[in-house]
Structure 1
Amino acid sequence: MNTVTTDDKTRLYVKDWGEGPPVILIHGWPLSADSWDDQAMALASTGHRVIAYDRRGFGRSSQPWNGYGYDALADDLAAVIQQTDAQDATLVGFSMGGGEVARYMARHGGQSVARCVLISSILPFRLKTADNPAGTEQAAFDKTALALHTDRAQFFTGFFKTFFGDASAERPVSAELLEWARGIALQASLKATIECMRSFSSTDFRDDLAAFTVPTLLIHGTEDQTVPIAASSRVAAQGISQSTVIEYGGAPHGLFATDKNRLTGDLLAFLARAA
């Protein structure tokens, strides 16, 4: 099994496919690197080296007690970049993974990064506060934590219907895909699942946006009910100097499945344009 070992001896499972300019894929909550397989295959088949890893506590990576804040998670990304010798890499962060990209750019000075992509990203700040009135109430995140403690299998059944859009949505996915996503989510430790939810819901990335000094593409669905676009990517783009925004009209959160062909095409076009 291919792994990277972090400074605190956590083992991160890594897929390393293809050859060419490196693209590092960072998955969302509560999934694993497997959620990227469609895009990873397409990128690797068209001349890119694709590196996708399971966040600590998720998938096939170790499940430590600590290390679920974004400073530690960004350091994990740094370990992946260093130990795979990924130079001039493109970082692609989906949902929660956008936070790792932002904190890596700020904390590690964007070392070895040539461009960034943020998909359905949680940036810049999810929590509703006095100076962030468009955010989500703390009570909503507390309710999620309680549901995870009570019966996370049941919680994820409903969660993924919103994540991908249910059968009545413009881009429905199969019942089998919903069950597959739930199965991946249940591979994670309960500790990691709850702590990462707390991290992405409370971490303020507004000061990190200035650290994006490379071409950056933001992609987001206009009907995303999981991370609404009006309080996320539209706001984040204003703070990223070299940003381009693509909005998917009517699309929900899980674009890697609901709009996978369009997403792959937009990734390839951005990589070709920014090369």
Structure 2
Amino acid sequence: MPYFETADGTRLAYEEYGTGAPIVFVASWALSADMWEYQVPFFVDRGYRCVLLDRRGHGRSDRPSGGYDMDTRADDLAALIEHLDLREITLVGHSAGGAEVARYLARHGEERVARVAFVSAVLPFLKRTDDNPEGAPEVVCEASIAQFQSDRPSWFAQRAQGFYATHLGNDVSPALVDLTMRQCLETSPRATTEVWRSTFHADHREGLRAITVPTLIVHGAADQSAPVDMTGRRTAQLVPGGVYKEYPTGGHGLFVTHRERLNADILDLIKG
């Protein structure tokens, strides 16, 4: 597995598969590049180059004590793109990865980017403020962090079925649910806490309004991790010309439960 070094000396792992126009996949909070196992073969078989990043503290990347703020994580993504000199990119970000994609665009512009897909993204702004009454109170964020610090395995176990909305008939085996939980628990405890906190406090509204490249927003109507009224629908209202697709039986884990539809929608974005 190749690595590159960021400005603060952190070594980050990434993977590459295929050739052709590049698609950069940015993983969810607490998950790594391995989460995209149902997307990579689909796009490689259709002639695309798939690039996948393990953010700091996740997967096979270094576990530094700091750098988990939103700006540094966006700069890490920029460093990968520049390291590989990628251009005409399709950026695909899931959950907190979608937030990092949005911050990358706000900080580094669209020069290298052709199009964007926000999948179950925790956008535009999670924290409740006077001008963001749709957000959640800060006490909710800190309560989750307290649970991470007390019993992380229990926190993930309690939410595993809801992540995939199995109560709506989505066919996900117990073994696959267990795999997802194990991947989450492999993330460093500090990264788990600090990425969660910084994502909660990040306001992306101004940056979303400035996006000019073709943008796809995909969200599940039954998303328990990022409720659609707070996230997907509001994001669609902010991105100029964004295409919004809502999956009625989708939870947060659309990349598994609705992989055929999601892959097809991303392919339509690329070909569009």
Q: Is the 8 A contact 1:102 1:211 kept in 2?
A: no
Which position in structure 1 is the counterpart of 2:190?
191
Q: How does 1:43-82 map to 2 (within 5 A)?
A: 43-82=43-82
Which position in structure 1 is the counterpart of 2:178?
179
Q: What count of residue pairs does the alignment treat as equivalent?
A: 272
Q: Matched residues in 2 for 1:39 and 1:5: separation?
A: 26
Q: Matched residues in 1 for 2:144 and 2:243: separation?
A: 32
Q: Matched residues in 1 for 2:85 and 2:43: separation?
A: 18
Q: Matched residues in 2 for 1:160 and 1:90: separation?
A: 29
Q: Matched residues in 1 for 2:138 and 2:209: separation?
A: 26
Amino acid at match of 1:27: A
Q: How does 1:103-252 map to 2 (within 5 A)?
A: 103-166=103-166, 168-252=167-251
Give the superposed CA RMSD.
1.1
Q: Matched residues in 2 for 1:243 and 1:170: separation?
A: 29
Q: Is the 8 A contact 1:105 1:111 kept in 2?
A: no
Q: Is the 8 A contact 1:68 1:199 kept in 2?
A: yes
Q: How does 1:255-274 map to 2 (within 5 A)?
A: 255-273=254-272
Give TM-score scaled by structure 2 length: 0.97
Q: Is the 8 A contact 2:165 2:222 kept in 1?
A: no
Q: Matched residues in 2 for 1:248 and 1:34: separation?
A: 23
Q: Helix, strand or coil: the match of 2:66?
A: coil
Give TM-score scaled by structure 1 length: 0.96
- Could you list the structure 1 runs, at least 4 aligned residues long, displaced by more than 6 angstroms after superposition: none
Q: Is the 8 A contact 1:10 1:56 kept in 2?
A: yes
Q: Matched residues in 2 for 1:238 and 1:4: separation?
A: 36
Q: Is the 8 A contact 2:214 2:241 kept in 1?
A: yes
Q: Matched residues in 2 for 1:253 and 1:46: separation?
A: 26
Q: Helix, strand or coil: the match of 1:230?
A: coil
Q: Matched residues in 2 for 1:227 and 1:5: separation?
A: 32
Superposed CA offset, 1:111-149 (max 9, x none): 300100000011100112222111122222111101110
5+ residue gaps in structure 2?
A: none
Instruction: Compute the displacement of 1:177 (Å).
Output: 1.0
Instruction: Compute the displacement of 1:74 (Å).
Output: 0.6
Q: Matched residues in 2 for 1:222 and 1:241: separation?
A: 22
Superposed CA offset, 1:128-176 (max 9, x none): 222211112222211110111011112111122221124x332141111
Q: Matched residues in 2 for 1:165 and 1:233: separation?
A: 17
Amino acid at match of 2:238: G
Instruction: Compute the displacement of 1:84 (Å).
Output: 1.3
Instruction: Compute the displacement of 1:110 (Å).
Output: 2.0
Q: Matched residues in 2 for 1:65 and 1:144: separation?
A: 20
Q: Helix, strand or coil: the match of 2:38?
A: helix
Which position in structure 1 is the counterpart of 2:91?
91
Q: Is the 8 A contact 2:71 2:103 kept in 1?
A: yes
What is the aligned-residue identity percentage?
39
Amino acid at match of 1:230: D
